[in-house]
Structure 1
């Protein structure tokens, strides 16, 4: 797979990056953790420019996330779970994954769409609960773009810094993902406590 990704980026440049990132959202086994760091490495070689790599990666990421949004909006939670259980093995997706993403989304609101784009394992499917919850399209695109820019920029910069060792990015992603999850937990607890305190003061 790595050789194919390298060939596509070398042949198509920015268009190849956008295409691969779109497919990464539609076909999860294609990892952004390889696509963008490899693109960052290409920047160090003078083949590509950093800003355009980030732009192409972000556009591709948002375009790839949008079909999941419309599917979730069209099917609803129950039907999406049934379809995922029946056909999801081709996309490494199950009804439990859909339910987990929906619960995670409901607990965080619209911001979950942006933050979810930063967490491997959730980022691909966060668009489904956004659609299921009937999130308006414009906010979905705005939050998805915001999260995608951060994720794409981080991976591209990591590849730029690591150079020929760009493939080692996975080693550094685990603590990053853990930090994001802890941050989300802290923010969630803060808002819950704040809401309960506000409700108590009103009584």
Structure 2
């Protein structure tokens, strides 16, 4: 498995053309063969210079938004009952649990624009959140705009980290492992803060 991951990352570094970046970022929304926190640093590592890095981030965002539009279309055409039935039957095999799908759908009844932006910063949610958005028929253009903003906030730091770490002599597997550890640490810390805040509010009341 480790050898496969290393080979895949090295192939990504050889994919220097922008169409390959577009395809990889689009396919990632449907077949996440590599986690995005590995894919986008690898895309950044292959950049020739700062301008190429910016272009890669822009193209990757376009591909990510196009993938979200595809999921939105599936949800809009499938309808609530059919899509939820598909999630119940096939969701667990692609890491989409019914409970997660229901939480995303419920969250959209609040502030859909902000929820969409924030959802693009959560690895599993960023892939599937367009599906319930399509089922609920959220306004398409605002949804895609929010997806683009959130995707940029996710892609640019990851690609930039890959670009700069590559120039410090890090290998592709080292960058992927290092960023995964950092993201996991941040997520755990954020969860602990949220739990502590909730406990404090509960005791205060």
Report the TM-score, using the length of structure 2 for normalisation: 0.77
Deviation sequence 1:113-137 (CA, Å, 0-9, x none): 1110011121111111211221111
**CA–CA separation in structure 2 for the residues paired with 1:63 and 1:181:** 31
Q: Check whether the contact 2:95–2:124 (CA below 8 A) recurs between aligned residues.
A: no
Q: 1:183 to 1:63 in 2, by over 3 A?
A: farther
Find runs of 4+ consecutive structure 1 residues off by over 6 angstroms: 179-185
In the TM superposition, residue 55 of structure 1 has moved relative to its aligned partner by 1.0
**CA–CA separation in structure 2 for the residues paired with 1:171 and 1:14:** 28
The equivalent of 1:126 in structure 2 is: 129
Deviation sequence 1:88-120 (CA, Å, 0-9, x none): 344332333321221233343222111100111
In the TM superposition, residue 177 of structure 1 has moved relative to its aligned partner by 4.0
Q: 1:143 to 1:184 in 2, by over 3 A?
A: farther
Larger RCO (alpha carbons 8 Å, 6+ apart): 2
The alignment yields a C-alpha RMSD, in angstroms, of 2.7
**CA–CA separation in structure 2 for the residues paired with 1:182 and 1:133:** 32
Unaligned 5+ segments in structure 1 are: 186-203
Q: Check whether the contact 1:117–1:144 (CA below 8 A) recurs between aligned residues.
A: yes
**CA–CA separation in structure 2 for the residues paired with 1:55 and 1:138:** 18
Is 1:27 paired with 2:27?
Answer: no
**CA–CA separation in structure 1 for the residues paired with 2:194 and 2:144:** 21
The equivalent of 1:149 in structure 2 is: 152
In the TM superposition, residue 144 of structure 1 has moved relative to its aligned partner by 0.8
The equivalent of 1:193 in structure 2 is: none
**CA–CA separation in structure 1 for the residues paired with 2:193 and 2:151:** 18
In the TM superposition, residue 37 of structure 1 has moved relative to its aligned partner by 0.5
**CA–CA separation in structure 2 for the residues paired with 1:30 and 1:75:** 27
Is 1:62 paired with 2:65?
Answer: yes
For these two proteins, the number of residue pairs brought into alignment is 184
Q: 1:108 to 1:174 in 2, by over 3 A?
A: farther
**Aligned equivalent of 2:42, options 38, 41, 58:** 38
In the TM superposition, residue 62 of structure 1 has moved relative to its aligned partner by 0.7
